[in-house]
Amino acid sequence: MMPAVAMYVAPRLVHLSAVDVAIVAFYFSLVLAIGFYLKGRANTGEDFFMAGREMTAWIAGLSFLSANLGSLELMGWAAAAYQYGILATHWYWIGAIPAMLFLALVMMPFYYISRTHSVPGYLKLRFGESSRALSAISFAFMTVLMSGINMYSMALVMKVVLGWDINFSIWVSSLTVAVYVALGGLRSAIFNEVLQFILIWAGALLIPILGLIEVGGWSNLKLQIAHNASAEYTHLWSTLGSFDNNPMGIHWTGIVFGLAFVISCGYWTTDFLVVQRVLAAKDLRSAKMAPIIGAAFKMLVPFIVILPGLLALAVLPVKLSGEAAAVGSGGHSYNEVLPLMLARYCGPGLLGLGITALIAGFMSGMAGNVSAFTTVWTYDIYRALINKNAPDAHYVSMGRWCTIVGVLISVGTAYLVMSFLSIMDYVQALFSFFIAPLFGTVILGMLWKRATGPGGFWGLLAGTLSSIGMWAWVKLDPSALRYVALSPNARDMAENMYRALWSWIVCVGVTMVVSYMTKPKPDVELSGLVYGVTAIPREDEVPWYQRPALWAAVVGVVFVVLNIIFW
Amino acid sequence: MRDRVIPIWFFIGISLLVNGILIAGAGVWEIFNPPANPVVLFHLHASMWWGAVLLLLGIVYCVRFAPGRQS
């Protein structure tokens, strides 16, 4: 869900003072201390893999968002804002909020009532072992691969920004994550993610505040961007009537149907990296409130990510460029926009906090990947396919070792990427192969009781293969873009949107056809898993002002108003 | 929770408190020892004020969520 990050090495952008180093060192000490403190509370499988299902709505909600808010997400989308303007905000608003509210109100009851440990675990209950195996293996593979690629990208950023050695960054940060997750399990990951979320805001919030003071407010910022770039850079929707009228080369149908409906729903409702945090909530109401709290804060994230990119268009004395041009000219690339703005406004101390925010973002994302991988490996691959009847303590031990091994595989992937840089070009597409079809399978499983086990499996497989096929078709014959993305002028992001949409349609179509050709499960076996045959607990005893539906409506109204304001 | 766990909010309070002290301290030091190449808007002394805000929030969180105050 983020653009690729800088791939070259330049002289360091900032120099840390002693107080900056002290702030960074204190951060590492604190996250390790939390891991050691929570070690004694991760002795059972339920504790280690599900944090005891004791998290409050606020902790689960902030952790849910923090696991997604990696530093590459921050830096990549700040760069995208500089490059494409406010259009990048779509990935935070329509590309997230409706899906998060849908998860909270529609899907969460089924995940929670089924008491599943994971998304593949739900597929096992609903469609059978083959669907679980397919989704678990693809998720585990992609998670460690993504973790390694993010690790390498982060180390590269640290080299560019601070001049740190790549090996030092990779090993120090990854071993820290390995230690605190292996010790305290999901609870430690979640606690640290909440801490990291606060630090990200504390470290990044001053940039837009000082930036707006410097330019003289939002109105002046728009005027300066219109002068320096184009007035289109500050409009969310009005330029999306044609593929050619906006810098992203995308049409509104791609944003609405591809991004908001398929990719966003697929990511926020079926990617176990984020869903795991919500499954750790202490009760169903908390599990429903957590994504709503996450959505409320997600709407605010553009303030610390997109706005700095827009401010850079107005205030930076240098013109940023793409990677190749930056290497050629010795200048700065788009991906350096956030560190450049940090260096512009932040002196000693604040600079350390800003760098800590970037490191915290990286570690929260990595901890999310590692803890999700550990759970899926232990419950959905190891216990399901290799060793079914071991005692609980054995699986906890497997989880601890799996955490270490998962981190080491990620480190290995990071070094692999260092040797074969072209992997970076493909990984976002690879990840999207699995997300869109998985959403089709899960949503049909939850909402359509006629869907059968064979239907779920063959739909998931067909959707995934069709996505890979479309990607390969365009690679081999670029003119095929006019069919896959509906326009020969579509850019990479637009291609991803439409490919996701088609693969979702294929998944849903095949699932329905195969389901009608096979014998359905009796209703009694679907209780707790499917809409219509599951008793959803009522909330009559909950005061009206504490009901998830009310707060989802509030978030929904604010979301609509924001889109109209920045239309 | 089964028994007393120090809430995450207390750890956050500690983090804000220490960072606030360090950042506000650095801001005050810079007032008396202005850097040769100051950052943009240096005259606003953002380090001092932001550090003070973090320090204040840290104190509130540390007191409010101190382990001894848990029910």
* A349 lies within 8 A of chain B by CB: yes
Nearest Cα to Cα of residue A125 among A442, A539, A477, A489: A442
pLDDT in tens, A282-317: 999 999 999 999 999 999 999 999 999 999 999 998
Contact yes or no for A51/A282 (Cβ under 8 A): no
Categorize the per-residue pLDDT at A252 as very low, low, confident or very high, splitting at 50, 70 and 90: confident
Tokens of A518: 């096979």
For chain A, the domain total comes to 1
Contact A213 B27 (CB under 8 A): no
Contacts of A346 in chain B (CB under 8 A): 39, 46-47
- Alpha carbon A332 to its chain centroid, in Å, reads 27
Categorize the per-residue pLDDT at B60 as very low, low, confident or very high, splitting at 50, 70 and 90: very high
Contact yes or no for A148/A413 (Cβ under 8 A): yes
Task: Please indicate, yes or no, if residue A1 is contained in any of the structural domains.
Answer: no
Look up the pTM and report it: 0.90
Count the Cβ atoms, other than its own, within 10 Å of residue A488: 12
Contact yes or no for A56/A209 (Cβ under 8 A): no
pLDDT in tens, A153-180: 788 778 877 888 888 888 998 999 999 9
Task: Please indicate, yes or no, if residue A296 is contained in any of the structural domains.
Answer: yes
Task: Please indicate, yes or no, if residue A490 is contained in any of the structural domains.
Answer: yes
Contacts of B16 in chain A (CB under 8 A): 198, 202
* B27 lies within 8 A of chain A by CB: yes
Nearest CA in chain B to A29: B15
Average pLDDT, chain A: 88
Task: Please indicate, yes or no, if residue A334 is contained in any of the structural domains.
Answer: yes
* A37 lies within 8 A of chain B by CB: yes
* A34 lies within 8 A of chain B by CB: yes
Task: Please indicate, yes or no, if residue A93 is contained in any of the structural domains.
Answer: yes
Which of A212, A353, A356 should be substituted to probe chain B, the one whose Cβ sees the most B Cβ atoms within 10 Å? A353
* B42 lies within 8 A of chain A by CB: yes
Give dist(CA A407, CA A413) in Å, integer.
10
Greater confidence (B49 vs A147) lies with: B49
**Domain range for residue A438?**
18-565
Task: Please indicate, yes or no, if residue A13 is contained in any of the structural domains.
Answer: no
Quick check: B2 pLDDT over 70?
no
Count the Cβ atoms, other than its own, within 10 Å of residue A5: 24
Give dist(CA B44, CA A139) in Å, integer.
49
Quick check: A375 pLDDT over 80?
yes
Contacts of B39 in chain A (CB under 8 A): 343-347
Contact A344 B50 (CB under 8 A): no
Which of A13, A21, A23 should be substituted to probe chain B, the one whose Cβ sees the most B Cβ atoms within 10 Å? A23
Tokens of A251: 């049409």
Contact A34 B26 (CB under 8 A): no
Give dist(CA A251, CA A503) in Å, integer.
19
Contact B26 A345 (CB under 8 A): no
Q: Which residues pair with A333 in a beta bridge?
A: A321
Contacts of A347 in chain B (CB under 8 A): 26-27, 30, 35, 38-39, 42, 46-47
Contact A344 B27 (CB under 8 A): no
Q: What angle do CA A310, A312, A315 make, to 5 degrees?
A: 120
* B1 lies within 8 A of chain A by CB: yes
For residue A219, what is the domain's CATH number? 1.20.1730.10
Task: Please indicate, yes or no, if residue A402 is contained in any of the structural domains.
Answer: yes
Locus of tokens 């020892």: B33
Task: Please indicate, yes or no, if residue A5 is contained in any of the structural domains.
Answer: no
Quick check: A5 pLDDT over 60?
no
ipTM score over 0.90, yes or no: yes
Q: Between A195, A213, A344, which is nearest B39 by CB?
A: A344
* B22 lies within 8 A of chain A by CB: yes
Which of B6, B8, B21, B41 should be substituted to probe chain A, the one whose Cβ sees the most A Cβ atoms within 10 Å? B8
Tokens of A468: 């890979």
pLDDT score recorded for residue A137 = 92
* A216 lies within 8 A of chain B by CB: no
Ordered DSSP codes for A197-218: HHHHHHHHTHHHHHHHHHHTSH
- Alpha carbon A221 to its chain centroid, in Å, reads 29
